[in-house]
Amino acid sequence: MSDVLVLGGGPAALCMAAALADQGLSVALLAAHDLRQPWPNTYGIWGEELDALGLGPLLEHRWSDCVSYFGAGAVDPNSPANQPTPHRRDYGLFNRQALQSHWLAALERGGVELLQGTATALHVLEAEGLTALQTREGSTHQARLVVDATGHQPVLVQRPDEGPVAGQAAYGVIGRFSAPPVQPGQFVLMDYRCDHLSPEQRLEPPTFLYAMDLGDGRFFVEETSLALAPPVAYDVLQRRLQQRLAHRGIQVLEVEHEEFCLFPMNLPLPDLHQPVLGFGGAASMVHPASGYMVGALLRRAPAVAQAVAAALADPQASSAAVAASGWRALWPRELRRKHALYQFGLEKLMRFQEAQLRAFFATFFALPDPLWIGFLANTLPLPQLLLAMLQLFVRAPWSVRWGLIGMRGRELRLGLRLLWPVGG
């Protein structure tokens, strides 16, 4: 029996198991597949977020020339509608093998037991202060606490049903092209130019290009929808990507890899009183405004692990009591209030038309750098986050302000959670 059994084999599970082992706890990690198997996703992050954690060397690619396009686009390349907005910050892509190895090495140092199996059910043995976890393969594992890090559709963690969940959908290609789809050496966070679309298409849900030069003549281009419920279909994204490239006279010469990306952006917070703790996608940790999560895993795991270790120091503590300590550390009141605020903001962006969205982002990225960077990383204290939102409102054109003022659907309910967050 171990102190903690972590479920999952993605970034969240490895990160949490490593943080728990760092606390001197006995930890087992159960994944449905071999933990050394390469991850399917590639993860991006702002350079300074990773530098602040001393993990900059885990990046495989790092770009200093990072831009977005918030103009409508035009045939004349010198038109103001084609001018990039510089971000003045580095962006990077993790070397996913290095990130995985970084955590696997920590697991080995911490003596974490690696198990393979598919978790199916949990039994809380109140009298013994234990939890028993069953696998599809027929084995049972006992621990004082189980952490569910099995992703956005967790096997054990429960969440309330609050209606349709919006997904960030994207279709991308890594390959070679007849001409560079972005400037050599450049990273493009969001290219919202839309002069390749018909007037009818411009009334459809907006999408943007996320793209980068990977070196040696290889580029990654991805047509992305920020968030929508139901999500934008892959065939629409694929068609829009082809149309965008064709409009700029670019042909795809060689497809090395196609990416079909879909993950939830606005999952409700889980029930914070359940006897199993969640982490990562399972605990709704994806940033509802940006879709990023890996930086949050790295920043938030140590405090959660510390709270779990402190609770386990009491030999009488039940699994439910230990899980409750973990949930409180993972989702303290301030973070729950900020989560509500981000969800409230996303709700508004999802109904913005293309021109409104371009104006919104142009204003957002013109905010002082620490504000937009802290907003995207979720590192601003609540008062500063509110200040960032207020400054955005004041600086935005009226087309955006009207969109921000009008309350529709579940916006009012989410807005009120700023004052009265879920979980008290």
Footprint of ligand FAD on this chain (CB under 6 A)?
7-13, 30-33, 41, 43-44, 118-119, 149-151, 155, 261, 263, 280-282, 286, 292-294
**Of 71 and 280, CB closest to ligand FAD:** 280
| Least Cβ distance, residue 172 to ligand FAD (angstroms) | 9
What distance lies between CA 278 and its chain's CA centroid?
15
Q: Find the shortest distance in angstroms from Cβ 231 to ligand FAD.
A: 12
Q: Which is nearer to ligand FAD, 43 or 352 (CB)?
A: 43
Task: Report angle CA 285, 413, 297 to the nearest 5 degrees.
Answer: 5
Q: Which is nearer to ligand FAD, 44 or 205 (CB)?
A: 44
In DSSP terms, 277 is beta-bridged to: 147
Q: Minimum distance between the CB of residue 407 and ligand FAD, rounded to whole angstroms?
A: 29
Select 146 or 362, whichever has its Cβ closest to ligand FAD: 146
Smallest gap from residue 226 Cβ to ligand FAD (A): 13
Residue with tokens 């006992």: 142
Please say whether the beta carbons of 12 and 22 come within 8 A: no
Distance CA 151, CA 297 (A): 13
Please answer whether residues 30 and 153 qualify as being in contact, where contact means their C-beta atoms are separated by less than 8 angstroms. Answer: no
Q: How far is CA 414 from CA 267, 339, 418, 420, 424, in A?
A: 12, 9, 7, 10, 14
Helix (H) or strand (E) holding 227: strand 218-228
Peptide bond into 230 cis (omega under 30): yes
Q: Which is nearer to ligand FAD, 33 or 419 (by Cβ)?
A: 33
Residue nearest to ligand FAD (CB): 10
Q: Which of 71, 88, 89, 93 is nearest to 80 (CA)?
A: 71
Q: Pairing mode, if any, of strands 91-94 and 113-116?
A: unpaired
Comparing CB distances to ligand FAD, the nearer of 30 and 197 is 30
* Cα gap 294→44, rounded to integer Å: 8
The phi, psi pair for 140, rounded to 5°, reads: -125, 135
| 119/404 with CB nearer ligand FAD | 119
Least distance CB 55 / ligand FAD (angstroms) = 13
Q: Minimum distance from CB of 259 to ligand FAD (Å)?
A: 6
Which of 416, 399, 315, 408 minimizes the C-alpha distance to 357? Answer: 399
Least distance from ligand FAD to the Cβ atom of residue 109, Å: 21
In whole angstroms, the minimum distance from the beta carbon of 119 to ligand FAD comes to: 4
For the CB of residue 10, give the shortest distance to ligand FAD in the complex, in Å.
2
In terms of CB distance, is 261 or 396 closer to ligand FAD?
Answer: 261
Place of tokens 């919202």: 192
SS3 readout for 165-190: CCEEEEEEEEEEECCCCCCCCEEEEE
CB 146 within 8 A of CB 17: no
Tell me if 322 sits within 8 A of 145, measured CB to CB.
Answer: yes
Closest contact distance (angstroms) between CB of 376 and ligand FAD is: 11
Of the pair 177, 292, the CB lying nearest ligand FAD is at 292
Burial bucket for residue 332 (CB in 10 Å: 0-12, 13-18, 19+): middle
Select 147 or 322, whichever has its Cβ closest to ligand FAD: 147
